[in-house]
Structure 1
Amino acid sequence: MSDTSKPKEGPLARLIRETEVDTRLLGMLAALALIWVGFHVYGAVVNGFGAFLTPRNLWNLSVQTSSIAIMATGMVLVIVTRHIDLSVGSMLGFCAIVMGVLQVNILPQFLGLGHPMIWIIAVIVGVMVGGFIGAFQGALIAYGKIPAFIVTLGGLLVWRGAAFLVARGETISPVDSTFKLMGGGPFGAVGNTGSWIVGILGCVGVLGLIAMARRNRRIFHIRQRPAWAEATLAVVGCGAVIGATLLVNSYPWPKGIVRRYAAENNIEVPAEGLFISHGFAIPVLITIGVAIFMTILMSRTRFGRYVYAIGGNPEAAELAGINTRWMTVKIFGLMGMLTGLSAVVASARLGSATNALGTLDELYVIAAAVIGGTSLAGGIGTIYGAILGALVMQSLQTGMVLIGFDAAIQQVVVGSVLVLAVWLDILYRRNAK
């Protein structure tokens, strides 16, 4: 006699169970899809055309997300260990000003204008300045026993003021031409061929991760996923990579830049025009590289295990022999270095360094991490979740700009989404117990 009391599992529930996909990831992807489709349909109904789901807008969206996403990967570590960093926006502005002054006022006097080492030195100095500031704040928190909220709130004011003093309130421009490529634009992208190379490497990476997971399950005698479930993951993963590659390659250079480029390189432009693809933007590739590095750091190293251990129970972690104070310094130092790298992307995209650069970025970075599933109670958070959270935040901003919402409404929506994300996190953890 069969047991009819147990509810029958549906195909979707079985797919989620067998593929072992994080349900919170699916929820974020569904929310992102809803935002994209909603703004596109709204634009089509009100304005007569939908401007959101176009190659141009989605390409620009990916570039605009990069700066926040890079910092959000570091904010995950800070929040997981039950701290907060309110200074990242001001720190970004200070690092950008330092790099701008180096490129415009200092290095050309010693190396000569346009020297190929100028941008390299500027990037290294910017990242190291960010790392030093972060480590200094981490030391105050860890060894000075000052709450992170107070230290970084002070940093929010101090580094914004320091940026003003260094630049005397002036806009520093123009930045080095090679440095500027890291901000995107037609020349700050890898083109059609380079994008397909990235896409092929991405597919190889997806298949490699699935094969590695299968080998590890065999080594540790864990039940293997069904072949159809792994095939589904492979198809969806590679399909997403190929789809992204097709998308960025379908966005052409502006006609004026194409004509100028053709004239400079003696290229004959046909009557129907010359199509040159943007491809993946350099800041997007930087973000992908940071995401891969941070994921490996958090999931494959002792450092990552220590971060989650401290977030889960700081007292138990210290009793287990983890130097929690030194870990705090390293975590905030890493957050600072990522902020310096984000300053590279932000100032390169702007083509200059201004005192206002990074204003309110700390709120968007924290919101991205929280929306991505990082718990303010500590111990829970993922790198891919933070990047998706950054994409959600930027999608909301871009969509509201496209449909004509003013800045006041944008702030109301962003603040409301942040509160909603925290409330959903509380409900999720309560139901998980």
Structure 2
Amino acid sequence: MTDTLSGDTARKSLTGTLQLDTRLLGMIGAFVAICLVFHLMTGQRFLTPRNIFTLTIQTASVAIMATGMVFVIVTRHIDLSVGSLLAVCSAVMALVQVWVMPQVLGLGVGHPATAPLAILAGLLVGAAVGAFNGWLIGYLTIPSFIVTLGGLLIWRNVAWYLTSGQTLGPLDPNFQLFGGINGTIGVTASWVVGALAVAASLWFMWTARQKKAGHGFPVKPLWAEGVMMAIVAGLILGFVAILNAYQVPAARLERIFAARGETMPEGYTEGYGLPVSVLVLIAIAVAMTVVARRTRFGRYIFATGGNPEAAALSGINTRLLTVKIFALMGALCALSAVVASARAANHANDIGTLDELRVIAAAVIGGTALSGGVGTIYGAILGALIMQSLQSGMAMVGVESPFQNIVVGSVLVLAVLIDILYRKRSGALK
């Protein structure tokens, strides 16, 4: 008994010294367990570089929207229209590429302005629709559940009418670079990005330590800081190494060399490297984390979610804040539409179907409290990765789609239950 207590105390002491989030550790443990189980069940095919590469590009679209859903749920709202809004943005961008640019403006296929203008059009539409939803919720006080449930039905069918129910494609080659397999930066550039990411992470960790010490807050011992820096650097470089290990098929390399009028050298190999869509997700994750932690807008979001009445009395314009949050959510839906449609190389009517449930589930599994006031960007991304790992793993072992949805729904309910029990135990919920 004494040995057990001393072991528990030692583990708690180590966790406290390293200042680790026990909830985050639990999610990481669950993710690792899922990966190991599916790796064994699939004959060691789940944790291969190829499957991890595929997993990352499949996760990107939902994860991008999940970062915005954190802000929505933190302020005690919900957005059920994100999948339909993604479809509208995708339809608008596809129309710009296959009709407006070549037929209306007379610009040829692959024109440098096509992809930027299409993305800009999608962002404007997404932000405008999101802001409209926010206005209905914030100023007309219609419950967000009703507004976005209506949006789920409305915008999905608006997208259908925009395209007359047709699949539009192929999309612009430059636009397809955001889709994953069609857009990677190569091995060398990936190592450069990885090194820069490590340097930036270590710099942020060290400056955060100095700021805490400067304000008289307790800081980790230097050895603990070094351990955390080593873990972060190892994770970043390990991730880059795994994606670099995924080799471009020889037949594809031969076609690339032939297109340049060259002959591929004997034994030549080349890795894909980091996908552009993953780089977009990382950039958005960093930006949203900075917004959440370092800006007045982010502080207002969490203050409003913690106590809306007190936030309003303190001078926060909660109505305008709601409009801004939903406009941001709409813009993120447009970015997700870029990634999703670029990966498919066309716009299809079923794009984004059920994404609203996946996005909400990712945010909740990642620790965002439905009661408001609590949530993290990295948690939502990890939640999206867990969701995609579950679906991909079940598909690889031959689980039927209906049962996959049963499992995902069960995991969502279980995640909420664990959240409630965790908050009760920590005293945050009474």
How far is the alpha carbon of 1:9 from its aligned partner?
Answer: 5.7
Which of residues 343, 351, 359 is equivalent to 1:365?
A: 359
Give the corresponding residue for 2:53. Answer: 59
Task: Quote the Cα distance in structure 2 between the aligned partners of 1:9 and 1:395.
Answer: 31
Which of residues 400, 404, 411 is equivalent to 2:405?
A: 411
Task: Quote the Cα distance in structure 2 between the aligned partners of 1:266 and 1:51.
Answer: 36
Which of residues 138, 141, 153 is equivalent to 1:142?
A: 138
Which of residues 215, 221, 231 is equivalent to 1:220?
A: 215
Task: Quote the Cα distance in structure 1 between the aligned partners of 2:319 and 2:147.
Answer: 15
Q: How does 1:283-432 map to 2 (within 5 A)?
A: 283-432=277-426
Task: Quote the Cα distance in structure 2 between the aligned partners of 1:322 and 1:309.
Answer: 9
Which of residues 244, 254, 258 is equivalent to 2:249?
A: 254
Please give the root-mean-square deviation of Cα atoms over the aligned residues, in Å.
1.3
How far is the alpha carbon of 1:267 from its aligned partner?
Answer: 4.1
1:204 equivalent to 2:199? Answer: yes
Alignment-mate amino acid for residue 52 of structure 1? F
Give the corresponding residue for 1:78. Answer: 72
Alignment-mate amino acid for residue 112 of structure 1? L
Alignment-mate amino acid for residue 351 of structure 2? L
Task: Quote the Cα distance in structure 2 between the aligned partners of 1:339 and 1:150.
Answer: 19
Cα–Cα, structure 1 residues 56 and 8, in superposed 2: closer, same or farther, change >3 Å?
A: closer
Task: Quote the Cα distance in structure 1 between the aligned partners of 2:269 and 2:120.
Answer: 36
Which of residues 140, 159, 177 is equivalent to 2:155?
A: 159
Alignment-mate amino acid for residue 75 of structure 1? M
Task: Quote the Cα distance in structure 1 between the aligned partners of 2:276 and 2:408.
Answer: 27
Residue 306 of structure 1 aligns to a residue in which SS?
A: helix
Unaligned runs of 5+ in 2: none
Alignment-mate amino acid for residue 29 of structure 2? A
Task: Quote the Cα distance in structure 1 between the aligned partners of 2:125 and 2:403.
Answer: 36
Give the corresponding residue for 2:231. Answer: 236
Task: Quote the Cα distance in structure 1 between the aligned partners of 2:160 and 2:213.
Answer: 58
Task: Quote the Cα distance in structure 2 between the aligned partners of 1:266 and 1:354.
Answer: 35
Residues 244-280 of structure 1, C-alpha deviation per residue, up to 9 Å, x if partnerless? 1110110011222111012223444344x32111000
Task: Quote the Cα distance in structure 1 between the aligned partners of 2:8 and 2:36.
Answer: 30
Task: Quote the Cα distance in structure 2 between the aligned partners of 1:431 and 1:267.
Answer: 66
Task: Quote the Cα distance in structure 1 between the aligned partners of 2:22 and 2:161.
Answer: 48
How far is the alpha carbon of 1:23 from its aligned partner?
Answer: 0.9
Q: State the number of aligned residues.
A: 422
Give the corresponding residue for 2:102. Answer: 108
1:119 equivalent to 2:115? Answer: yes
Cα–Cα, structure 1 residues 325 and 112, in superposed 2: closer, same or farther, change >3 Å?
A: same
Task: Quote the Cα distance in structure 2 between the aligned partners of 1:295 and 1:337.
Answer: 16
Task: Quote the Cα distance in structure 2 between the aligned partners of 1:11 and 1:193.
Answer: 42
Alignment-mate amino acid for residue 232 of structure 1? V
Unaligned runs of 5+ in 1: 45-49
How far is the alpha carbon of 1:7 from its aligned partner?
Answer: 5.2
Query: Structure 1 stretch 56-65 or stretch 17-26: which is displaced more?
Result: 17-26
1:15 equivalent to 2:14? Answer: yes
Judge conservation of contact 1:191–1:277 (CA < 8 Å) in 2.
Answer: yes
How far is the alpha carbon of 1:11 from its aligned partner?
Answer: 4.0
Residue 42 of structure 2 aligns to a residue in which SS?
A: helix
Give the corresponding residue for 2:23. Answer: 24
Judge conservation of contact 1:104–1:175 (CA < 8 Å) in 2.
Answer: yes
TM-score, scaled to structure 2: 0.96
Task: Quote the Cα distance in structure 2 between the aligned partners of 1:260 and 1:43.
Answer: 32
Task: Quote the Cα distance in structure 2 between the aligned partners of 1:380 and 1:124.
Answer: 32
1:183 equivalent to 2:182? Answer: no
Judge conservation of contact 1:372–1:387 (CA < 8 Å) in 2.
Answer: yes
Task: Quote the Cα distance in structure 1 between the aligned partners of 2:326 and 2:363.
Answer: 16
Residues 177-200 of structure 1, C-alpha deviation per residue, up to 9 Å, x if partnerless? 100111011x40000011001100
How far is the alpha carbon of 1:14 from its aligned partner?
Answer: 2.3
Identity of aligned residues (%): 50
How far is the alpha carbon of 1:320 from its aligned partner?
Answer: 0.4
How far is the alpha carbon of 1:432 from its aligned partner?
Answer: 1.3
Which of residues 94, 97, 101 is equivalent to 2:91?
A: 97
Task: Quote the Cα distance in structure 2 between the aligned partners of 1:206 and 1:113.
Answer: 43
Alignment-mate amino acid for residue 155 of structure 2? W
Residue 353 of structure 1 aligns to a residue in which SS?
A: coil
TM-score, scaled to structure 1: 0.95
Residues 302-355 of structure 1, C-alpha deviation per residue, up to 9 Å, x if partnerless? 000000000000000000000000000000000000000000000000000111
Judge conservation of contact 2:254–2:263 (CA < 8 Å) in 1.
Answer: no
Task: Quote the Cα distance in structure 1 between the aligned partners of 2:112 and 2:58.
Answer: 27
Query: Structure 1 stretch 25-34 or stretch 7-16: which is displaced more?
Result: 7-16
Residues 341-384 of structure 1, C-alpha deviation per residue, up to 9 Å, x if partnerless? 00000000000011110000000000000000000000000000
